[in-house]
Structure 1
């Protein structure tokens, strides 16, 4: 297009400009009127926008020069190279009074109290001007009247709606068509706001004279219904209102420009944070209110009363806006209401899309259940109607007794397919937007969001990426959802600080099988909600933490059943298994009842439920069915649980159970379930007498899972000791030689070695037993070493290897030993001295030990034919070691008593024999030992009357050696 020379007359607009907006025509005319030099100069486009808490300027350079930002009084200087020509925005942000070029750069004059910061974004410089801090209200407050609005704006057409949606996501649009202001003359300051919490409204066009200020009606606390906090908002008669929750805020719209004064609410525990934003002919009130808190609105003579109530189920029973489809033409969706007001468009704080709020002049109709349709969302509301437009062709009109919603192209509405929240879960608090829509509608929504993301600026895509991730997750596509959300982390720093966005990415990673990337679901800064509880339970279940997962799923089951079919199909098996493993029988029965009998992936939970109900036959049939299925993890669990149930019911023994459980080893590999299966199989092998097989399996497990090697050591040592005890002596020695490091350095290892040595001695393998004891002693320490050394010394002494016995005692000596070990070592040392010919020293050492050395002292004195001394020493030992009557005596104790009787008989001590007979005869019982004891302790012959007794005793003496020999050899003894 040829540029018009300066001063040339204007020509009428051509026909192709007939559809252009007035402000577009004015901008084009201003560009055509520039002088030639300015037209050829390189211009820097400046865009502006107002956002909650700050305003923004974006300087878009073709190639970013060197720049810096310097604070100077009430303004800042953006230093850039000289000769920069700006193309200013249509409207400055609310906190910026003027924007002017200077030789040193670009000067920005800020509103008093505002502050600015700048940062680089590609080839752009972004300057954010923060709002001044809130000031305490003055005693009397006024405000400038809003610009008069002749009538409500007509419904937006497709082009205008698309332009509005884009401006909403980026910079704020101008309110009226006006040419860009000249940079040389700063714009006059806007009048100060009368309410500190209310942001300043956009500046009016220069041609419009400000209306005289009017007094504001003051909001004040109202009398609430029982259990709530309420506030009265005085508004003119006929003012309509609408209330809807969006995220952590509740939005209330009044279709009147005369907003109430919020100063009296400062410091209120609930409504002190209420903020009013002026709109053309309306007022938007924003109140931060954590879920499940809600606002209930009611109309009174003086105005609207907003009451904060908890919990959300208190809203049940309120009049509902019931949607009905009108076939047309054109097809419309109707919401019947008694007194509909105006339709007020606002920007949705969550998605940035147009949010069309239909107000009510009276009544309390709300929409408790939202719906999702391809071109718009009918949001759940607390008062009035709320329509989130996802298409440029959506129009909402207030009609007589109803609201009408129409979409471009005459689309028909299927009201039975877009319910976002079924009545089963009205009180569940949510963190994500996962609507239960048909897959085709969810797919259309995801495609529309992807197209919108492609056409949006990078730093305005975060909300749309979140919505697209939710749509993909609802479609059961977690890998695609995680990839979509990962792009948000890469391009927008706000994504990392958004706990809800990170949790959504964690949910997608969980369903995609990437548990290491799902940690954001447990982040402490993610606000608590029922949906957070549900997804944390899902993460716990995926990690095998059933006790934590089961109660979480039981508490959030209505929310799970309200999910879309594709997402629900992925979560139901995990939830059912968690409820089954956690023993949540009642919740599991309800879940399986809702899921139906045809769900093949719920066979395993049904089998567990049958087992919990005491139906083993039905449970085993279902376990066998799950074991034959294609799900490998369910197959492994079914095999294991089926084996355990058959073992408990006695259908198989431990050996058969071990063989059956071996099939589950390779059904599922690589997680805690495989480790548990291996440990259980090792236990079954040990229980069936295959300790060596259990040891081999545990060693294989430790090598396969090095991180579990330390935790497996106790089980490995137990299997090793069991193998030593069960194997034949030579096989046990070979097992010890193969794994000597597995011998525990505690009494269990000591006992195992002593038992194995005795078994070798029974086979006349004394040298092998001695070598085994020497090897075990060298690996042991402390008391275990001393005990093994004592046994080795006794073995060497028995084989008359006096030097070996002395060396064994010396090598196993320890500074401090318990009396039960120190005394036997001293006795053995005394016996060694006696064998070396140092009998007096040995006798003195044994007498010093007291009763503990009595038995060995009796042996030494017997060898010296000191019968009386030997009897006295043995009597001292017996008095200290025999249990008190009437306790039963062991064979070794009865032999000592018989030996005592023999020594007393040899010593001729008749009184002592009589005393021994009186105290011990009844405790000797029956058998050869008792008969011999009776003979030795019997009364002496005193006359001819004792001859028959003498005859019987002589006959008994003749047979006694043979009977005692049979007893020593272990042969059966008969009378």
Structure 2
């Protein structure tokens, strides 16, 4: 059987692979070239649409091969290219690299693949010439983001070099003609970015976009603007620019994406991007490596990827960093030690980091130290609160400030200092309204509010303080039944301490803005009772009219009828009140009728309704309760005014044993005496009992309805 080969063709997203006789021969051959790299000679293979790197095992000999897919069809190697450190194997499509030596560095770019080594490849020829880039066309493809190159050779980045170079470039820009002006502006934008002058770089990019809007669609623009936006602390916008799929082949871009994701606190994404760009670490200098290792260690700790965090921290420690960077590593190591339960080490590292001149780092370390020591019981909650209060002003304007405020609010909550807790959370939520975590802050405020006004924590506060808290944070009142219960609970508390006018204000808002239908009608009846308690019967009738419904449940309709009739009676509109009660039955309605008859001095009707209220109570030997004694006295007075002596005698015989002692015993004896009541006594007794209906019959009953369960009215 002869040799077998492959033919690969692509149509849109469809790939067709044909098995053909004879050896494989790519339609268009890739060409490896020798170039000068940052760490010596490299082999660069130019190609378009470079895919992700795959690791496969050769089934024949067991070697681990690195495969680089290419999106441009028919691109491969017709023959084996052998080097000391690796082999490039023949392929019909893509690159297949067989490593021979350790430490091989394979880096993908949008325009090709670079293969090198930390020590430089062992390739014959003039190494000096290769390093100097003497051969034309031998300069290695540059990275899209090359800060060192962007600095345009400013010697070690000193201020004098920066200023001189900037002035020269500005002069060049002023002298440039229209055709070359774009190129000079590009150089200036990247020069500023390379030196960390991000506002100046952003301004130059904006000028470029104004003069050439199409430039924003280029990959180079997106890469540079992503770096500049990240430098301006706009990580989400930076990610949008850097995440163009056409940049995926640039291994270096994955590291910048990881940095942007870390700054945006999308830590899982940061770790994923970092793993996909690790091959480009070899391209970077020490400052960038320190930056990326710090970011990935932070994201790994946030995602509890402690092994990865440990590796990054070890790399940082081996770099021999100093100053704030070394203290930043201490802070991360403290977090790692705390995750392992090594509290002593964590405390020591946080204390070191707290001494940093970098206020952001110092504030983070002091926050963690306060949390740790309070959690371990080494400081009191008041000391922890005092520390956090000082930290409020140590750093402002980002997620760290939010963390400080959130921790401080929780300390206030634990001490039942609810106003301070709510104010602190409110400050954080308003300062970071666009942050995704602001929803959590709002949820914490709602939880505290519910604890106060649903779970009864506000009952421990003075009534006016509780009312003030409710009004100041009333926007936290939940919708629906929970919010309605919250309002009614507070109303009960206010009525129980005679703050009926404040209670009325709360129910007015509930009736006007929160309720409808039968629920509104029922709560309006409660509000009407509060108006009666506050001697405002006109307001009772107004709210009854305003909340009238065509169809209501019988129990709700009865409550509203009784309240309206009581208000009419208080306004001395007795006839209207009685007409309103015509179709209402029950003891509560009869008690109200008795009050109306008493107030209107309708003695025959009062005697009849009193008899119905007492019923056969005389058959029970137990002494009369106070409300029963009041009904009995009013009946005796009514019979006396009617001079109904036989009925009085019957009343005496039935009830005298039940009222011989206690309230009204003497009055009952006088009113039912066989010799009759002395002249003038009936009027005097009626005058003294004139307020009985107000203070015993209905106001006390209404007030009792608003007394919190298990509490007392006063």
Q: TM-score scaled by structure 1?
A: 0.42
1:691 equivalent to 2:491? Answer: no
Q: 5 Å matches for 1:713-728? A: 725=458, 727-728=461-462
Which residue of structure 1 aligns with residue 223 of structure 2?
A: 503
Is contact 2:487–2:507 with CA below 8 Å preserved after alignment? yes
Distance 2:197 2:354 in 1: 28
Q: Does 2:525 align with 1:793? A: no
Q: Which of the residues 473, 485, 499 maps onto 1:751?
A: 485
How many angstroms does 1:431 deviate by? 5.9
Counterparts of 2:616 and 2:374, CA distance in 1: 63
Q: How does 1:311-322 map to 2 (within 5 A)?
A: 314-317=97-100
Could you say if the C-alpha distance between residues 572 and 806 of structure 1 is closer, same or farther in structure 2, counting changes exceeding 3 Å? same
1:626 to 350, 353, 357: 353
Tell me the C-alpha RMSD between the 2 structures.
6.2
**Is the contact between residue 306 and residue 336 of structure 2 (CA under 8 Å) also seen in structure 1?**
yes
Greater strand content: 1
What is the alpha-carbon distance in structure 1 between the residues aligned to residue 580 and residue 232 of structure 2? 83
| Separation (CA, whole Å) in 2 of partners of 1:699 and 1:493 | 42
- Give CA deviations for 1:653-701 in whole Å, capped at 9, x if unaligned: 7665444333332232223443344344334433421221233334445
2:45 touches 2:114 (CA, 8 Å); kept in 1?
A: no
Larger deviation: 796-805 or 603-612? Answer: 796-805
Tell me how far apart the structure 2 counterparts of residues 305 and 730 of structure 1 sit (CA, whole Å): 85
Equivalent in the alignment of 2:45: 245
How many Å separate the matches in 1 of 2:294 and 2:283?
A: 15
User: What is the match of residue 497 of structure 2?
Assistant: 763
Query: Does structure 2 conserve the Cα–Cα contact (< 8 Å) formed by 1:576 and 1:602?
Result: no
Which residues in structure 2 correspond to 1:264-283 (within 5 Å)?
none
The residue that corresponds to 2:306 in the other structure is 585
The one of 366, 369, 394 aligned to 2:116 = 369
Instruction: Decide whether the 8 Å contact of 2:70 with 2:94 is kept in 1.
Output: no
What residue in structure 2 maps to residue 826 of structure 1?
A: 558
Matching residue of 1:539: 260
CA pair 756-472 structure 1, distance change in 2 beyond 3 A:
closer
| Count of aligned residue pairs for this structure pair | 525
Query: What SS does structure 2 have at the residue aligned with 1:669?
Result: coil
Deviation at 1:503, TM superposition (A): 0.8
Structure 2 unmatched ranges of 5 or more: 1-18, 35-42, 51-68, 83-87, 105-109, 321-325, 595-608, 618-624, 629-708
Name 2:80's counterpart in structure 1. Answer: 297
CA shift, 1:736, in A, is 5.1
Q: Secondary structure at the match of 2:91?
A: strand
- Alpha-carbon contact 1:241-1:384 (below 8 Å) kept: no
Q: Secondary structure at the match of 2:491?
A: helix
Matches of 1:540 and 1:528, distance apart in 2: 18
In the TM superposition, residue 499 of structure 1 has moved relative to its aligned partner by 0.9
520-529 vs 645-654, greater mean Cα deviation: 645-654
Residue 781 in 1 paired to residue 501 in 2? no
| 1:367–1:384 Cα contact (<8 Å) kept | no
For residues 384 and 826 of structure 1, what CA distance do their matches in structure 2 show?
Answer: 107
Structure 1 residue 540: deviation in Å?
Answer: 1.5
Q: 1:753 to 1:482 in 2, by over 3 A?
A: closer
Partner Cα distance (1:271, 1:546) in 2: 30
Larger RCO (CA under 8 A, 6+ residues apart): 2
After TM superposition, give the deviation of residue 606 of structure 1 in Å: 1.3
2:297 aligns to what SS in structure 1?
A: helix
Does the Cα contact within 8 Å between 2:152 and 2:191 map onto a contact in 1?
no
1:602 and 2:329 aligned:
yes
Could you tell me how far apart the structure 1 residues matched to 2:476 and 2:616 are?
Answer: 49
Q: Is the 8 A contact 1:486 1:505 kept in 2?
A: no
* C-alpha distance in 2 between matches for 1:390 and 1:486: 37
Give the alignment partner of residue 273 of structure 2, picking from 552, 568, 574.
Answer: 552
Q: 1-side partners of 2:412 and 2:385: how far apart? A: 6
Deviation at 1:245, TM superposition (A): 1.1
- Contact 2:48-2:111 within 8 A present in 1 as well: no
Task: Please state whether the residue corresponding to 1:614 is helix, strand or coil.
Answer: coil
CA contact (8 A) 2:363 2:391 kept: yes
- 1:682 aligns with 409
Residues 404-423 of structure 1 aligned to structure 2 (within 5 Å):
none
State the 1:612 CA deviation: 1.8
Question: In structure 2, how many angstroms separate the alpha carbons of the residues matched to 1:395 and 1:704?
Answer: 58
Q: 2:292 aligns with which of 546, 571, 581?
A: 571
In structure 1, stretches of 5+ residues that fail to align are: 1-219, 235-239, 251-268, 275-286, 322-348, 352-365, 373-377, 397-404, 408-419, 422-429, 848-853, 871-898, 903-968
Shift, 1:475, TM fit: 8.5
Contact 1:233 1:305 (8 Å CA) reproduced: no
1:315 Cα deviation from its structure 2 partner:
2.2
Larger helix percent: 2
Q: Secondary structure at the match of 1:503?
A: helix
Q: CA deviation at 1:521?
A: 0.9
Which of 444, 449, 466 is the matching residue for 1:732?
A: 466
CA distance in 1, matches of 2:616, 2:22: 108
Deviation at 1:708, TM superposition (A): 7.2
Contact 1:476–1:567 (Cα < 8 Å) also in 2: no
Q: Distance in 1 between matches of 2:506 and 2:298?
A: 52
- The answer to whether the 8 A contact 1:682-1:695 is kept is yes
Shift of 1:857: 8.4
* Aligned counterpart for 1:307 among listed residues 85, 91, 99: 91
Task: Give the corresponding residue for 1:363.
Answer: none
Greater Rg, structure 1 or structure 2? 1
Deviations 1:142-190, CA, capped at 9 Å, x for gaps: xxxxxxxxxxxxxxxxxxxxxxxxxxxxxxxxxxxxxxxxxxxxxxxxx
Q: Matched residues in 2 for 1:633 and 1:513: separation?
A: 14
